[in-house]
Amino acid sequence: SITNKQKQIIKSTAPILKENGKEITSIFYKLMFQAHPELLNLFNQTNQKIGTQPLALANTVYFAAENIDHLDVLMPQIQLIAHKHRALTVLPEHYPIVGKYLLEAIAEFLGEKATSEILDAWSATYNIIATIFIDLEKQLYHELGPNERDKGFISLTIIKKEKVASGPIVSLTLERHDGGKMHNYHPGQYITLRIKKGNYFHNRHYSLIQPFDGKTYRIAIKQEHDCEPKGIVSNEIINNYKEGSTILATLPAGTFMLVENASHHLFIAGGIGITVLSSLIQELHKQGKSNSVTLIHCVPTESHAAFSNQLRSILPRNQYHLLFQGRHLLQGLIHEIVKPDTHVYLCGSVPFMNKVEDYLAQYGHPSSQIHTEAFRPSLSLIKN
């Protein structure tokens, strides 16, 4: 627990730590990986390099500190992170390790300003958040059922690998052949794939691209070869995994989902963001609600529009808009389509999502009706 005095200390020191979050968390990761190199099997090295993950962890701790009297406002974010942790097989025993090195990093950064009062207050804050995560994650592991093996990485067989669009974007259909059960999921969820490259495992989340068919998981991967650093996992899978290969994965997780009983759903996808939105659209189609759907998909060219044939077959012409580049068109189109009761689902690159969120904010669309799925650590998007 935390005393009122400690809350005061947290509130007065949070701004300093927030200003320097990047630096502190860089120290933190350096110290932690020195002592526990095995944790490099869990953390995304690319996010480390480009700095998004350090910020995500720091941001969460600072938000929690700022909202220490009403943590419930953070619950949707905390749920999302707990799902990612479970998908990556984060365990209760990891929390004291992270706590220890986070505290050491704060101490190292503050130098002689780090009084034991300040450090104790931060330690208490960390413990409160850690307890919330541990409890939530315990529940998520429990929901995976009694089979212990299902709580970790299992082996799936690639039964189909096909190119579905330029990019290239490749889809994999996966089956389980170890006698275990393929768990049901809700559209919007993802599975986490793990490959070995160099000395460590690398893990990535991939959205499931269609509602559950009872026996397979299907995902789509965009080969990331133009960016720096190159997509370690996407390149490895696309170049070296074939039909018949097995791949490590955890069972479905994630909190992104359809709003029940909404009268109008607008889906806005940038490029590969169509993967997860297509799953939601197919679900609505299955429920006989295609009429409530409008889709805008922004792509460089027609050949980049994954699943366009399938989507055309379930959506009437005036409910499916393919836009090539041209952001101006996008803004006008959104303005035309969005009604006060519209629920908007947004997925794409970070700049794309920021742009669309700005448009929606300009029209005063309520943020409670905007649902986003980021293929990057989500809290690093928060703009304050």
Please state whether the peptide bond connecting residue 377 to the residue before it is cis, i.e. omega within 30 degrees of 0.
Answer: no
Residues 319-378 close enough to bind ligand HEM by CB under 6 A: 377-378
Of 128-136, 160-168, 173-181, 305-313, the window that binds ligand HEM (rule: CB under 6 A) is 128-136
Q: Applying CB under 6 A, does 130 fall inside the site for ligand HEM?
A: yes
The amino acid that residue 128 corresponds to is I
Residues 20-39 close enough to bind ligand HEM by CB under 6 A: 39
Using CB under 6 A as the criterion, what x/- string covers residues 293-322 for binding ligand HEM? Answer: ------------------------------
- Nearest-approach distance from CB 84 to ligand HEM, in angstroms: 5
Contact 331, 299 (CB under 8 A): no
Q: Applying CB under 6 A, does 58 fall inside the site for ligand HEM?
A: no
Buried b (16+ CB within 10 A) or exposed e, 39-59: bbebbbebbbebebbbbbbbb
User: Which CA distances in Å does 268 have to 11, 71, 315, 372?
Assistant: 38, 31, 14, 10
E strands, the chain, where? 154-165, 169-176, 190-197, 200-207, 217-222, 246-253, 264-270, 293-299, 320-324, 342-348, 370-374
- Nearest-approach distance from CB 29 to ligand HEM, in angstroms: 10
Q: Applying CB under 6 A, does 207 fall inside the site for ligand HEM?
A: no
Q: Applying CB under 6 A, does 81 fall inside the site for ligand HEM?
A: yes
Question: Of the candidates 193, 178, 185, 182, which has an alpha carbon nearest to the alpha carbon of residue 88?
Answer: 193
* Residue whose beta carbon is closest to ligand HEM: 44
> Catalytic: 137?
yes
Q: Applying CB under 6 A, does 206 fall inside the site for ligand HEM?
A: no
Q: Applying CB under 6 A, does 56 fall inside the site for ligand HEM?
A: yes
Q: What is the dihedral of CA 352, 358, 361, 365, to 10 degrees?
A: -20
- Given the residues 101, 126, 137, 357, the one annotated as active site: 137
Q: Applying CB under 6 A, does 190 fall inside the site for ligand HEM?
A: no
- Nearest-approach distance from CB 358 to ligand HEM, in angstroms: 21
